[in-house]
A and B are shown apart, each in its own frame.
Chain A
Amino acid sequence: MSAFFANLRRLDRRWIFLTVGLLVVVPLLTGFHIAPVLPSARARGFYDAIEKVPPGSTVLLAGDYDPGTIAENYPMHLAVSRHLMRRNIKIIAVELYPGGPPLADQVLHIAGAEYKKREGYDYVNLGYKSGNEAVMSAMGSAGIPRTFPADRSGTPVGQIPVMKGIENFGQIAMIVSVSAGYPGTKEWVQQVVSRYHVPMVAGVTAVSAPEYYPYLQAGQLQGLLGGMAGAAEYEVLVKAPGLATRGMDAQSLAHIFIALMIILGNLAALPQRTPGAKK
């Protein structure tokens, strides 16, 4: 046993990398299934909030992320687009990350094709605007058409049917924030929810999720999806298992392996720390 721990202490970290790689890749390639995904209260809150939005109303879908966090944000972005379109809710998409617009286009086109929704009539992507919080604030005070005078392709908002009657947040039934960090969910809460009292739900990266728990507990967020696990829970709720659900088995194995490594690492270090132990 002591020889095992001695070897563990000298373990080349590349073996850990290789094992993690295999544990992630094999379930994704083989479809190997470990355990069912059970939705959390946070994901249910997200789902229920969208279920309460009346069909025909308009939702602001903020896709504030770029390809760096595709693995976590894209599945939730796609799932929520599907959910909104399935419920005949109109979507106005905006992005405050320069790399975000093509991803928003992708999810809107995929979901739009599935639910036979027309761009411009049922959804529009207004694209990227620099300015971070100032853009959010301007959308409320100066108005959405003045802040985004044209959509991503350059069509003036006055010529876009889905934008008809949209002036500011007064005509927005809910904000759905899919966020990777700054500017994102926190800024939407601070600049818009606290000021204009628009209901809001958020899907965020796992690493940033703890930051939003106070907003969730205070009721400023009605639901929260954290990372790929949150996205998978939401996919289960909307009955459309996709990228995130497939990734959960890989993530389960990786987490178990890392937990095992932490325990083994401590056991291996134990003899060194025991008083009187030979070094």
Chain B
Amino acid sequence: MKREIPLLISMAAGIFVLIGFFVPHPAIRDIYDDIQGWVIIVVAFTYVLGMANLLRINTEQIQRRAKDWPYKLALVLSLIATMIVGFFFSRGSHYLDDGTGFSWIYLTFYSSMSSTMFSLLAFFIASAAFRAFRVRSVEALLLAVAALILMIGRVPIGNAIHPAIPQIADWLMEIPQNAAKRGILMGAALGVIATGFRVILGIERTYGEGGGT
């Protein structure tokens, strides 16, 4: 039953969501709305589950003094400290309001560190480009030339060098890139449809693995 019940729930939810997308009749629509409401609640609970899992795994590794355990300790302490500040030190305001401790943590630590991680991309891309765009074949040459045109054509200096550069960059993006992207999107969409039907019809059961029999 541990296997069959989740399967039946998935099938029923899949069928109603599929029908509800196309049929606006209230009888279908009410169930469709309820299912979506459940999805929103279930997704919210997955955050709690994710946090509990994060705490469990990292706490175990800290206890075992596993590799890089000090970083894991910093992670766990930061998580707990942020939660305590958010729950108990908002001075009567909403925890996200300006001036609260949680807001201070968000702006001072989270925001700065997240932006720093993203900024590091500039350095990684510089180094990767130096090595990755090695011309070893005709295809690699085409890729490198396209990359160079796009890199220069996408910034104002490209137009200053020659007005044709941004025009060629636009053509590359709108014609060859778009054609390839459409093909990928259509292929992916067909795959999603096929997987969706497999789930609805109970053929695809891998998501229920580990639930016992």
B177 on the A face (CB < 8 A): yes
Q: Is A256 a contact of B152 with CB atoms below 8 Å?
A: yes
> Whole-angstrom distance between the alpha carbons of A135 and B33 in the complex?
10
What residues of chain B have their CB less than 8 Å away from a CB belonging to chain A? 20-21, 29, 32-33, 36-37, 39-40, 43-44, 47, 94, 96-98, 103, 106-107, 110-112, 114-115, 117-119, 122-123, 125-127, 129-131, 133-136, 144, 147-148, 151-152, 154-160, 166, 170, 173-174, 177-178, 181-182, 185
Q: Is A142 a contact of B33 with CB atoms below 8 Å?
A: yes
Of A20, A211, A259, A261, the residue contacting B122 (CB under 8 A) is: A20
Task: Give B196 Cβ to nearest chain A Cβ, in Å.
Answer: 13
Q: Is A21 a contact of B123 with CB atoms below 8 Å?
A: yes
Q: Is B94 a contact of A138 with CB atoms below 8 Å?
A: no
> Whole-angstrom distance between the alpha carbons of A252 and B21 in the complex?
46
Known: A67-B110, A131-B44. A16 touches B127 (CB 8 A): yes
A57 on the B face (CB < 8 A): no
Known: A134-B40, A262-B130. A38 touches B181 (CB 8 A): no
Q: Is A217 a contact of B174 with CB atoms below 8 Å?
A: yes
A132 on the B face (CB < 8 A): yes
Per-residue interface assignment for chain A, residues 105 to 147, with 1 indicating a CB less than 8 Å from any chain B CB and 0 otherwise: 1000000000000000000000101111011011001100011
Q: Which residues of A contact B134 (CB under 8 A)?
A: 265-266, 269
Known: A40-B170, A214-B182. A135 touches B144 (CB 8 A): no
Which chain A residues in 149-195 approach chain B with CB under 8 Å?
152-154, 195
> Whole-angstrom distance between the alpha carbons of A255 and B150 in the complex?
10
Known: A142-B33, A252-B156, A258-B151. A70 touches B130 (CB 8 A): no
A198 on the B face (CB < 8 A): no
Of B96, B123, B133, B182, the residue contacting A20 (CB under 8 A) is: B123
Task: Give A4 Cβ to nearest chain B Cβ, in Å.
Answer: 15
Of A102, A232, A266, the residue contacting B135 (CB under 8 A) is: A266
Q: Is A70 a contact of B39 with CB atoms below 8 Å?
A: no
Q: Is A213 a contact of B173 with CB atoms below 8 Å?
A: yes
* 11 A/B residue pairs, CB under 8 Å, sorted by A: A16-B123, A67-B115, A68-B118, A71-B115, A131-B36, A131-B40, A141-B20, A153-B97, A254-B126, A258-B151, A262-B144
Q: Is B122 a contact of A254 with CB atoms below 8 Å?
A: yes
Q: Which residues of B contact A266 (CB under 8 A)?
A: 133-135, 144
Q: Which residue of B lies closest to A257 (CB)?
A: B126
Q: Is B37 a contact of A99 with CB atoms below 8 Å?
A: no
Q: Which residues of A contact B111 (CB under 8 A)?
A: 67, 70
Q: Which residues of B contact A69 (CB under 8 A)?
A: 118
6 further contact pairs, Cβ within 8 A, besides A105-B98, A210-B177: A20-B126, A68-B114, A127-B96, A134-B36, A213-B173, A255-B154
